[in-house]
Structure 1
């Protein structure tokens, strides 16, 4: 077998014929390229019948003769011909810098892509909600499949461990509301109405809304990360293999615990906000605590409390569903886990704010002002 590549140059019927032999590979070509570039003849006939081996570099050498000199290639084996065809298809112009598209086209493309992703996610959430209802029905029909320990552990993670941060945040928010309200109302000599502002805003909106945002950032992301890690380590697939439903084992306990805890956390946050506002009014406005409490009882209607208790379970359902749904969508690697965890928080907060606006319009329309 001839190892070193070479070629012979002859003239047949007035045409230059190059007969290659040996091994046309990167390790063997060496100075063959310079010799071929020095050829001045055109209309070359290239005979590859005596070539033993050829790699991509050798195929590129022959292809350049065909492309630049109009050479006709004959005698190539089936494998060599396939390699030559692939090299020819790969010979495409490469743009170092892509063509610039107008700014409005890029903006429209981004808006369209975002809308498509949002629609796809909404459809996925609706399907996930249906699967959740089916799993809840199975648990109700077969109570033995209800995982009490998992619900209790989620109670601890979502509720007890979040009390300090929610309490501190709500307390400070109450002080901020009282301070800003007092500054503005003092211009009209109506500082006493700061109590109305604190009580109604804390009970009706801010207490629950800030709690939902904190639970989404703390517990919703934890749900996505926990389930996503199990998905990456194939624990979810193993559960299906042994006949355990991931929806019943992982999703249902988290949803139930979050739905039950959100009203309690919302009431706790509203109470801490009122306490913070009461302390500020006592120190800055000289309103004694007894007067503050009496005024709160007068100005905060019962409907505000009912609004909070109605919205809280819905917010809890949305937060738990978003976290679990995004966790089950994790595929591939840790990067997907991080993206899905972030998406769970953003999605939960967005849906909570949208639903809060819907509830505000709905309760106003039925007279719960």
Structure 2
């Protein structure tokens, strides 16, 4: 759940001299991990049983390097993930588990649409939870020197789950990055936020929707979700304004946005809270304001496109209309995006890896160059900007 999929792709790679030990012989690495687990207090026999059958998984490493879907523009990505069938099944699940959602909203203040959207996107409402051996994946990724600091703690958390009877290193499966269950939670998060919602004495996130939904809600609360507040609202924007104000880090009150000509599409603000204006495809495309709860989404996943799509889908499941796609300027191809990132980096901007992904660093650099060149500073990269550079 947290730090999944694109999240892992967007975190800077570790250096060869990683902060945490990694690499070398996989067998030696397993032995070192087992010894460290025992030094941390694990029962030696339990640690031996946990690590004994672990195998390096090349498919996990391959999956870690495949992130092409996150290069899609918001509109294309949303249309790929959101369908009438997913909406209908989401609404059916909302009715079927209404008692659980009522309890969630009372105890954690997390709206049902938010959890339904994650449930849909992560596993298609539980239908596709992943078939990677969880322990193999976690140890493989801890051994790999790309992001060992993320996965080493998850290995030890998985060992604790095993000791508690909540994980079998031979049979427990999930996503390639080690997430388990219907809303895809990492072992550390299961330990901290797992809830036995159905009262059967176990926390089962793979077969119990009630356990999975309650655990996901508790986790969102622990990450800072503000009870009973909105997260996203579609707006209309004027034909021209200072587009550089459309940025996650810039927050204004509804009154301040109204003074700039921004207005809710349905005529009413969802809340009198500070909000950021989001233009995922520039000033001629869709427009939203994001309230404080929107920031919590980035603790679940760090891809802006994924987060915005999940947040929007949550509003759709609760009755919001289809967003106005507008008529945005065409986006760049993968090769063009990489060329743009190279040009931005050459001008001194920190865009991270040259990966073709429109991440936060690339957006900030695009906005800065648009301002310098006198173009609409909406952080949407176009061929006009590429050619100008």
TM-score, normalised on structure 1? Answer: 0.23
Higher relative contact order (CA 8 A, sep 6+): 2
Q: Which has the higher helix share?
A: 1
Larger Rg: 1
